[in-house]
């Protein structure tokens, strides 16, 4: 029996995610899926993302059925079992016998034929859903086991945000997030509608649109770079760079860690006559950014954020640092299985170094926006505090004031501005707001 192309593609992607620490979303938009029909592409995407979201809960369904334990399984066998368990639990329209047969055939295709008998036996004993394994769980057990999050991460969020918000975050992470667009021109929405893409209004930003149906990727306005896929939290951070300011002749903006370029593109659309310098350390990502950010006023620079070839000459500096990404687990669920508590401290040291270096490029009277897509205070408030302790020329501008300016201008449409504020800083939380989790601080140089 041949394995369907969608499952073969999903299997290959899941293996690479584990072995190469690749990102599932990037592989799902790669040539691996080019030859699949739209239906097969959708199934492959569903399986890949579903397995990553529910990995620990899926493992619990068959851990007791594997004679030698999960730690002894080859990655190919473990991946096939996870795929099979996910399809039985979540894709109920697929006949169980088909799931069992294709799971066994996947193991054979991966040249693990000696495990085929065991996989067949395990699959036939599996329950068709996750309910028996998660019913009656409460508190941290519910967040960690029923909502498939590492226990240390669930405990951390309960301590930092309270149980209610931790529950909202974990629940949001397990859902398929909306595809959100950033429009530059209102007429682009009409062009998308003519190409079969139905849109709804964004929740936070005036220029955001939520895709209700249709293939945005195939739309001409998307391919031409006139609209971009960008989470509303990310759009809000980019808007903070220009909050309350009018474009001035000769304005210069620096984006220190710019790839993949969404915020640079948003700033270029907001200030089309400003010079925007977007730095990226990796040459291949810089080349990709040139295609994704076609605006002529954006200049791509391949350089390390710690050693940028600029003076203190920028009116605005955006420092969107590499981070743990814990605010993006709905889109990048593999992160939660890779991250360790030690990683957060390592990232903090790197973030302090990048922010300290970026401060050298801000002109007198200029502003710096520090941002992450992390929920962790070590990467956010603590980084800002550490850098300000050594930089007396800078002070924090309370973000509530800047958000009110965006609200007054009509760019921000979220009614409860106070809900976006944590102390002096911007904070969006997945599930509390319908977007990824972002942090931002606005600093000004005296």
Per-residue pLDDT, 131: 80
What is the structure's pLDDT at 129?
Answer: 80
Instruction: Assess whether 256 and 384 both reside in one domain.
Output: yes
Could you tell me which residues come within 8 angstroms of residue 299 by beta carbon, excluding any fewer than 6 positions away? 275, 276, 277, 278
Query: Tell me, what's the pLDDT at 149?
Result: 98
Closest CA to 426 of 390, 373, 367, 353: 373
Query: What does the pLDDT look like over 157-188, one tens digit per residue?
Result: 999 999 999 999 999 999 999 999 999 888 99
Q: How many domains does the chain have?
A: 4
pLDDT range class, residue 289, cuts 50, 70, 90:
confident
What sections of 271-380 are H helices per DSSP?
283-292, 335-338, 341-358
Residue 417: per-residue pLDDT = 96
In angstroms, the CA 262 to CA 168 distance is: 26
Which CATH number covers residue 184?
A: 3.30.70.1170
- Give residue-wise pLDDT tens across range 217-226: 889 988 888 8
Q: Residue 339 sits in a domain of what CATH number?
A: 3.40.50.150
Sign of the torsion angle spanned by Cα atoms 335, 339, 344, 346? negative
216 and 276 assigned to the same domain: no
Strand partners, 367: 316, 444
Strand partners, 370: 319, 441
Same-domain status, 122 and 65: yes
Residue 243 sits in the same domain as residue 321 = yes
Residues 354 and 226: beta-carbon distance below 8 Å: no
Determine the average pLDDT of the residues in 15-29: 94
pLDDT over 70 percentage in the chain: 99
Does residue 18 sit in the same domain as residue 82?
yes
pLDDT tens-digit profile of 364-388? 999 999 999 999 999 999 999 999 9
Question: Helix 232-241 and helix 399-409: axis angle, to 10°?
Answer: 100
Count the residues in the chain.
Answer: 446
- 334-370: per-residue pLDDT in tens? 999 999 999 999 999 999 999 999 999 999 999 999 9
Asked whether residue 185 falls in the same domain as residue 239, the answer is no
Q: What is the pTM of this model?
A: 0.95
> Is the per-residue pLDDT at 133 higher than 80?
no
Q: Identify whether residues 291 and 433 lie together within a single domain.
A: yes
Please indicate, yes or no, whether residues 153 and 200 belong to a single structural domain of this protein. no
Rounded to an integer, the average pLDDT of 392-414 is: 96
**Other C-beta atoms within 10 Å of 266: how many?**
25
Q: How confident is the model at residue 246 (pLDDT cuts 50, 70, 90)?
A: confident
Question: Can you tell me the distance from the alpha carbon of 181 to that of 178, in angstroms, rounded to the nearest whole number?
Answer: 10
What is the average per-residue pLDDT within 65-70? 94
Would you place residue 270 in the very low, low, confident or very high pLDDT band (cuts 50, 70, 90)?
Answer: confident
Q: How far apart are CA 270 and CA 375, in angstroms?
A: 27
Structure tokens at 295: 């605006």
Residue 383 shares a structural domain with residue 245:
yes
Helices within 311-380 (DSSP H only): 335-338, 341-358
**pLDDT value at 292 more than 90:** no
CA end-to-end span of the chain: 71
C-alpha to C-alpha distance for 135 and 145, rounded to whole angstroms? 10
On whether both 279 and 414 belong to a single domain, the answer is yes
What is the structure's pLDDT at 1? 65
Please tell me whether residues 263 and 243 are part of one structural domain. Answer: yes
Cβ neighbours of 426 (radius 10 Å): 23
419 confidence band (pLDDT: 50, 70, 90): very high
Residue 102: domain span: 5-133
- Average of pLDDT values for 238-258? 86
Task: Work out the average pLDDT over 414-427.
Answer: 97
């Amino acid at each position: 029996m041949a394995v369907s192309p969608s499952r073969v593609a999903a299997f290959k992607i899941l293996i690479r995610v584990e072995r190469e620490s690749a990102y599932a979303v990037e592989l799902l938009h790669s040539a691996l899926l080019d030859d699949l029909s739209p239906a097969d592409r959708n199934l492959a995407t569903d399986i890949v993302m579903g397995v990553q979201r529910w990995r620990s809960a899926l493992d619990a369904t068959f851990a007791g059925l594997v004679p030698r334990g999960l730690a002894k399984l080859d990655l190919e066998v473990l991946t096939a079992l996870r795929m099979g368990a996910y399809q039985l639990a979540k894709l109920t329209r697929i006949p169980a016998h088909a799931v069992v047969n294709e799971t066994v055939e996947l193991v054979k295709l991966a040249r693990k034929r000696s495990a085929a008998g065991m996989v067949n036996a395990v699959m036939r004993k599996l329950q068709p859903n996750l309910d028996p394994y998660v019913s009656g769980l409460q508190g941290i057990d519910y967040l960690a086991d029923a909502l498939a999050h590492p226990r240390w991460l669930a405990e951390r969020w309960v301590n930092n945000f309270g149980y209610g918000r931790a529950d909202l975050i974990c629940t949001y992470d397990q859902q398929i997030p909306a595809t959100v667009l950033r429009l530059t021109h209102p007429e682009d929405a009409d062009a998308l509608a003519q190409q079969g893409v139905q849109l709804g209004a964004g929740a936070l930003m005036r220029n955001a649109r939520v895709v209700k149906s249709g293939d945005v990727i195939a739309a001409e306005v998307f391919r031409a770079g006139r609209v971009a896929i960008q989470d509303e939290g990310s759009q809000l951070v980019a808007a903070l760079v220009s909050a309350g300011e009018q474009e001035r002749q000769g304005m210069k903006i620096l984006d220190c860690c710019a790839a993949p370029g969404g915020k640079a593109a948003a700033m270029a659309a907001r200030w089309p006559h400003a010079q925007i310098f977007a730095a990226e350390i990796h040459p291949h990502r810089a080349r990709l950014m040139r295609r994704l950010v076609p605006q002529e006023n954006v200049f791509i620079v391949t350089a390390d954020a710690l050693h940028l070839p600029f003076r203190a000459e920028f009116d605005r500096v955006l420092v969107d640092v590499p981070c743990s990404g814990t605010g993006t687990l709905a889109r990048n669920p593999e992160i939660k299985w890779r991250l360790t508590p030690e990683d957060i401290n390592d990232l903090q040291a790197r973030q302090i170094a990048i922010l300290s270096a970026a401060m050298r490029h801000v002109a007198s009277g200029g502003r710096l926006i520090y941002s992450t897509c992390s929920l962790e205070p070590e990467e956010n408030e603590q980084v800002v505090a550490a850098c300000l302790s050594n930089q007396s020329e800078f002070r924090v501008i309370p973000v509530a004031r800047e958000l009110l300016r965006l609200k007054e201008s009509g760019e921000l449409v979220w009614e409860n501005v106070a809900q976006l504020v944590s102390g002096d800083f911007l904070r969006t939380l997945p599930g509390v707001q319908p977007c990824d989790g972002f942090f931002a601080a606005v600093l000004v140089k005296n």
